[in-house]
């Protein structure tokens, strides 16, 4: 069953087969997690959000229409949950934000990223690049940010992005291409992109 399309597995889940949720987890956890992780910059919180999404899938499986698509649905749930977490963070008192930032390594998930770099210097450079890239996305206007984040962190097509954000595919493409010059301007300040 693991190779079956989502619609078949959804039907199985709707009929009460709990193993089906395991297949959806195997299929989508990495891309969902990466999207949530880049959104929240918090490894544990990203894991919590993804767990929430899969549990919601289990609870609401009978309400889903097979043509709706499991992947866009899961991304929508994760996105809404991430937005809620960001809003919640903004409401936190400053002192709590300070303590939440104490474990920078944990937030960046450095301890969980396999150490495939040959030298510590190369690893620091890659970590700094990651931070700059994520910060460049975060600096975008909101409507561009969402599209770019889904494109770069989750490797989604514009059609899929359109379904998740409930916008036409062409609009998603336009937002992405309009975001590119803004990203380029930000990255040029770090000497990471060439001028056009």
Partner 1 sequence: MPDWNNDTFDDIDQLFARLPTVEPPASLKRNVLSSLSAPYIASSAAKPAARRKIFVQGLLTPRGWQWLAIMTGIIFFAGSIWLGSSLDSSGFLSLLGEISGNLGSLGSSSYDYGSALFGAAPWAELAVTLVSLVLFMMASSITIDVKAQKPINFDQAMLRKR
How distant is the alpha carbon of residue 33 from its chain centre? Answer: 6
Instruction: Determine if 91 is a binding residue for partner 1 (CB under 8 A).
Output: no
Per-residue mark of binding to partner 1, 37-66 (x: CB under 8 A): xx----xxxxxx-xxx-xx--xxxx-----
CA dihedral 156, 160, 166, 167 (to 10 degrees): 80
Least CB distance from residue 140 to partner 1, whole Å? 12
CA distances from 135 to 37, 124, 186 (A): 13, 16, 9
Considering the complex, state which of residue 47 and residue 167 has its C-beta at the smaller distance from partner 1: 47
Structure tokens at 174: 């336009």
Size of the site for partner 1 (CB under 8 A): 51
Task: Give the nearest distance from C-beta 40 to partner 1 in angstroms.
Answer: 12
Helix (DSSP H) and strand (DSSP E) numbers for the chain:
10, 0
Sign, CA dihedral 110-114-119-122, equals negative
Closest approach of partner 1 to the CB of residue 164, in Å = 14
**Binding track, positions 131-160, relative to partner 1; x by CB under 8 A:** --xx----------------xxx-xxxx--
The correct pick among 1, 4, 30, 96 for binding partner 1 (CB under 8 A) is 30
- State the Cα–Cα distance between residues 102 and 86, nearest whole angstrom: 18
**Tokens 């993804």 map to which residue?**
50
Residues that bind partner 1 (CB under 8 A): 16, 18, 21-22, 25-26, 29-30, 32-34, 37-38, 43-48, 50-52, 54-55, 58-61, 109, 112-114, 126, 129-130, 133-134, 151-153, 155-158, 180, 183-184, 187, 192-194
């Amino acid at each position: 069953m693991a190779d079956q399309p989502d619609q078949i597995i959804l039907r199985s889940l709707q009929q009460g087969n709990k193993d089906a949720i395991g297949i959806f987890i195997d299929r989508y956890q990495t891309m969902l997690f990466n999207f949530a992780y880049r959104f929240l910059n918090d490894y544990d919180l990203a894991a919590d959000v993804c767990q929430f999404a899969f549990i919601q899938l289990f609870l609401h499986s009978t309400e889903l229409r097979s043509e709706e698509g499991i992947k866009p649905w899961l991304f929508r749930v994760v996105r809404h949950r991430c937005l809620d977490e960001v809003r919640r963070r903004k409401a936190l008192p400053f002192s709590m934000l300070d303590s939440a930032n104490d474990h920078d390594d944990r937030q960046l998930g450095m301890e969980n990223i396999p150490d495939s770099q040959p030298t510590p210097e190369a690893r620091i450079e890659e970590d700094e690049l990651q931070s700059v890239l994520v910060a460049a996305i975060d600096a975008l206007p909101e409507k561009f940010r969402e599209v770019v984040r889904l494109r770069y962190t989750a490797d989604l097509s514009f059609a899929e992005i359109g379904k998740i954000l409930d916008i036409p595919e062409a609009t998603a493409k336009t937002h992405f291409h309009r975001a590119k010059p803004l990203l380029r301007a930000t990255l040029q300040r770090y000497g990471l992109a060439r001028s056009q």
